[in-house]
Structure 1
Amino acid sequence: PNICFEDLFGEELAASFTDASTAPSVLINLSNIAWFGDSVAIDQHLQISRLRAIELGRPMLRATNTGATAVIDHNGVVTHQLERLTRGRLEATVQGRSGITPYAQWTARWGLMPMWVGCLVLVLVIASLRSLGRRGGRTRRR
């Protein structure tokens, strides 16, 4: 299970997918998002959970107090959902899944390190190109 906005961090959820035999078969998110009110944040939380379900190839069960209580299949499709700001009980049958997606395998092993290295390389390339451009503009013609 993950709590509230923890499903924002796919690399943290993927960390539990290092071994296919111990990887979770279903993802669960429990949230108290009442402080968002009736805002777009409720929809954003649902969309984030949909993305995690796709990335990790697992169904996601969301239980909230104000909205976005839903069942999401492993393809990111919302199969069952309570109305926003509605008190109720949501019943669904969910089948856990096994196996590891390429995203889960990569991220469980490397986390976000390749992204940070790539960003650093990009910044260095841009900085060197700007430096070359400045030097090229200062040459004198004879």
Structure 2
Amino acid sequence: MISQITADVKISVESIYQPEYSNPDNFHFMFAYRITIENQGSDTLQLVRRHWDIFDTIGEHKQVDGEGVVGEQPILEPGQIHQYASGCNLRSDMGYMVGHYEMQRLIDGAAIEVIIPRFNLIANFRLN
């Protein structure tokens, strides 16, 4: 698990290769990831946007921007945790993702950029 704290928000990430949804012969490698967002500060925050940079070892780079995460814009009170799972497909068996969330402090509307730490996407057979 990879973790990073930015502005009293801890982001932890776990990723796993999904061979049952992959087709290496057609350059399709599917990965799942689980993200845990912990509000360790004293202000209530809302996750309003996300940005991803996705890199593949064959040289492809994709950027993904959108509202919230998996259809939600969760509000986190101090001490609360929000967890979600999503996925990413690559054209090779290795790559990585990195990004950030735009959080909004509800008391005054201030925008806070929270870093999502870089995490690797590696097919299990590459680790042996």
Q: TM-score, normalised by structure 1?
A: 0.27
If asked which structure has higher relative contact order (CA below 8 Å, sep 6+), I would say 2
Larger Rg: 1
Greater strand proportion: 2
Greater helix proportion: 1
Q: TM-score, normalised by structure 2?
A: 0.29
